[in-house]
Each structure stands twice: as C-alpha cells, then as structure tokens.
Amino acid sequence: MSATLLEWSVFLAQAMLALAMGCAAWRILAGPRAQDRILGLDTLYVNAAMLLLVFGIRTSSALYFEAALVIALLGFVSTAALSKFLMRGEVIE
C-alpha cells in the first residue's frame, strides 16, 4: 500500500517537474528577447536539480545528488555570467 502510494507520487512529481522543464525550454526557444531566454535557462537548471533530488528518492541512493550539486553550481555561474554579458556586451564606449 505505502509502496504503491509512494511510487505513484514520485512518478507524478517527476512528470510535473519534467513538464516544468518543458515550459522553461519553451521560454528558451520562444524568447522573445535575450533576457527571457536566460530566465528560461536558469529555471531549467533549477528544475533539473530538483528532478535529480526526486530521482534520489526513487532509487533511494545518493548517486544523483552530486550531479544535482554540479548542476546547481553551473547554473548559478552561467546565469550570472550571461546577465553580466547582457549588461556589458552592448556597451559601446
């Protein structure tokens, strides 16, 4: 009983997170402007890290968590760098 309940809720949570990643990916593709795409990318990173946490519960192993940590770190650095580029890249001195 509890195994079935947990299995279904983990499956549903993963489906919702995958759908959320789809929304973020759509925002990356559709734009319309560069800042929208970067926002979508940041959301995609966060959702990927959360999806890996749920994967960790599903397989009851800690293998995925290190990947989630790396994704979180890379997501922060890349988004910060991209938004800095948006501010500096267009400056014509």
Partner 1 sequence: MNDSDLPLWAALPVSVLLLLGAGLTLSGCIGLLRLKSFYARVHAPTLGTTMGMFCTLLASILYFAVTRSRPVLLEILIAVFISVTTPVTLMLLARAALYRDRREGRDDVPPPGTHGAP
Footprint on this chain of partner 1 (rule: CB under 8 A): 1-3, 5-10, 12-14, 16-17, 19-21, 23-24, 26-27, 33-36, 38-40, 42-43, 46-47, 49-50, 53-54, 56-62, 65-66, 68-69, 72-73, 75-76, 79-80, 83-84, 86-87, 90
Shortest distance, position 86 Cβ to partner 1, whole Å: 4
Spatial distance between the Cα atoms of 63 and 76, rounded to a whole number of angstroms? 21
Name the nearest CA neighbour of 48 among 69, 30, 27. 69
Structure tokens at 42: 């940041």
Structure tokens at 43: 């959301």
Shortest distance, position 93 Cβ to partner 1, whole Å: 13
Amino acid occupying residue 53: L
